[in-house]
Amino acid sequence: MPAGQFLAGARKEPKPLDAFLLGIAEVTVAEYAFFAAATGAPAPPEAKDRRDEHPVANITWEEADAYARWLDMRLPTDLEWERAVRGTDGRLYPWGDKFEPGRANLARQAPKGPATPATMLPAYRQLTRRDDSPFLHLVGNVREWTSTAVRDPKGGTTAYFVVGGSVADGEAAAAPHARVQLKPDARDPYTGFRLAWPR
């Protein structure tokens, strides 16, 4: 992604960003398993149930950060992720300004009652036809850890922002300015990550 300003947040305010690279897809079960075998890191609890090509999930922020550092990479900031979603024109979604349910792997809203979680897709397989975004599953499939910390009044880290929505989330989670906070040691079966560079 080139350096420059982009329109961020619900009010579409200009924000400057340096140039960066972002992973096309979420890190997969197989990719994380290779890291775990090479370093002795524990495999995530859910790795046994998901196929190798599915996005890895149920790992803590510290584990995601360790994987990124092992490759001399890092987790993206929440604004870098939002920049990838919005493109250069400030759109609301990777495909445009109108929400289209068939474009993102999110929970299916029933006519009555709660939404039904969707089926997880392989990280490198898009739900429907591609849009002009080079990235896969920026919205939906799994939520994604970022490196953006939530600080307490003394400056300590209490949580990190998670973005993107998952198969268990509805339309509101698909908004590029939507954020969820998770503690660094939290495990969530619907939260994974993708990589960014440079460190």
**What residue ranges do the domains of the chain occupy?**
22-197
What is the predicted pLDDT for the residue at 163? 96
- pLDDT, tens only, 122-141: 999 887 756 678 899 999 99
pLDDT < 50 positions in the chain: none
Q: 């997880």: which residue's tokens?
A: 120
Angstrom distance (rounded) from CA 137 to CA 116: 19
What is the predicted pLDDT for the residue at 129? 59
Does CATH number 3.90.1580.10 belong to domain 22-197?
A: yes
What is the predicted pLDDT for the residue at 160? 98
Give CA separation, 4 vs 15, 16, 143, 159, in Å: 8, 5, 26, 28
pTM for the whole structure: 0.91
Which residue in 195, 149, 175 sits closest to 20, CA to CA?
195
